[in-house]
Amino acid sequence: MTDQKKMNVPDGFSHQAFMSLDSTNKEAIRQLEAGAKSGLWITAGEQTGGRGRGGRVWVSEPGNLFSSLIYDCGKDIYTAAQLSFVSSLAVRETILEFLPDSDVKCKWPNDVLLEHKKISGILLESHSMGSDTTNHIIIGIGINVAHHPEITSYGSTHLNDHAKKCIMPDDVFYSLAQKMAFWIDIWQNNGFEDIRKKWLNCCKGLNEMITVRTSDQEVAGRFIDLDCDGALKLDTGTHIKLIHSGDVFFTS
């Protein structure tokens, strides 16, 4: 059931708010198949089947922000992965709007950390409705506002655990929509290099020793850079290894 309250979103975007959904990403796909256009935001007060990266359960009790954005990436599905970094920058700036004196870092490939603890997750999923149509990316963004799970490998937190006054999910969404519009515009007009440089300036672990756990191995080395597509460059001591997906763990 749709909540009648509508949030202001930037020009070129629209918004549908629901009290409860199985998943905002799943609803975005349903909306696409029903004819929705690029730029539609879906939000929910709660999710009954929220998912994180790798099929992990995303705890989705009321009080946090659960949102998804439909984005038309045309035929170029490969560079669409760069939207993970676009989204991370938008989430980081959203958190800083409410907690301006906090330490907020981006974590490769698509997490955001507040005071070294996870406060947000981003899940990108592609969707195409036929070989002759454009591809769409569903950008799922969850931000811990009122509470957080206790099960992450490197700690987790939420906004109201740090704020002086209570922050509401609607306020966080309004800020996020503005920040996403800004950084998508930078990406569309200037390409990935501006995004890459900004992300590297505010990420955790650059030039430090880290461990990356992929689907089939665990690799340790020094995080030295991102390549032009967003892959992590890891100096293992014997060679430079490019890593396209995995989980990063910090040694300190």
Contacts of 217 (CB under 8 A, 6+ apart): none
7 found inside a domain: no
Whether 112 and 160 share a structural domain = yes
pLDDT at 83: 95
Q: Return the CATH number at 218.
A: 2.30.30.100
Residue 236 CA: distances (Å) to CA of 182, 228, 249: 36, 20, 15
9 found inside a domain: no
Number of domains in the chain: 2
Q: What pLDDT digit, counting tens, does each position of 78-106 carry? A: 788 899 999 999 999 999 999 999 999 99
Whether 67 and 184 share a structural domain = yes
pLDDT at 2: 45
21 found inside a domain: yes
pLDDT at 1: 38
User: Which residues constitute the domain of residue 213?
Assistant: 209-250
Whether 22 and 61 share a structural domain = yes
Per-residue pLDDT of the chain (252 residues; tens, 9 = 90+): 344 345 579 999 999 999 999 999 999 999 999 999 999 999 999 999 765 554 555 556 889 999 999 999 876 777 888 999 999 999 999 999 999 999 999 999 999 999 999 999 999 998 876 655 668 999 999 999 999 987 667 789 999 999 999 999 999 999 999 999 999 999 999 999 999 999 999 999 999 999 999 888 899 999 999 999 899 999 999 999 999 999 999 986
Distance CA 67, CA 157 (A): 18
4 found inside a domain: no
- Average pLDDT value over all residues in the chain: 89
189 found inside a domain: yes
Max CA distance (Å), the chain: 59
Q: Return the CATH number at 110.
A: 3.30.930.10
- Residue 12, judged by CB atoms within 10 A of its CB (0-12, 13-18, 19+), counts as exposed
pLDDT at 3: 42
pLDDT at 74: 74
Contact 15, 3 (CB under 8 A): no
pLDDT at 51: 58
